Amino acid sequence: MRRTALTIAGLATAGLCTFALTGSANAADGVLTVNGTAYPHPSGCYEGGSHPLFIDNQTDQFAYVFDAPGCAGLPAGAVPPGRAEIKEGLSVLIS
């Protein structure tokens, strides 16, 4: 009986670890809109195309705004989930 309980506990732990590792690699749930272009389930860096950026973040993640193309350098600002804001920047990162 003890061996069965240990086996079940080990399998449950392995399953939780697998879920935690794969969960962080998934795209955000929702839609990110940058200057009128909608990105469903976004993940990664998006170029704004013009300055300033209109960002409508209807996802479950923060959208980080960068002054440089390609999301280079440090974030200059952020748009919280469920908010739309105008930000100075050239690119937006969401994970």
Does residue 59 lie in a domain region? yes
Enclosing domain of residue 35: 27-94
Give me the number of domains the chain comprises: 1
Does residue 16 lie in a domain region? no
User: What per-residue confidence (pLDDT) applies to 75?
Assistant: 97
User: What per-residue confidence (pLDDT) applies to 1?
Assistant: 53
Q: pTM for the complete prediction?
A: 0.72
Tens digit of each residue's pLDDT (9 = 90 or more) over 28-78: 999 999 999 999 999 999 999 888 999 999 999 999 999 999 999 999 999
Q: For residue 18, give the amino acid letter.
A: T
CATH number at residue 44: 2.60.20
Q: For residue 47, give the amino acid letter.
A: E
Shortest CA distance to 77 belongs to which of 64, 61, 62? Answer: 64
Does residue 39 lie in a domain region? yes
Does residue 79 lie in a domain region? yes
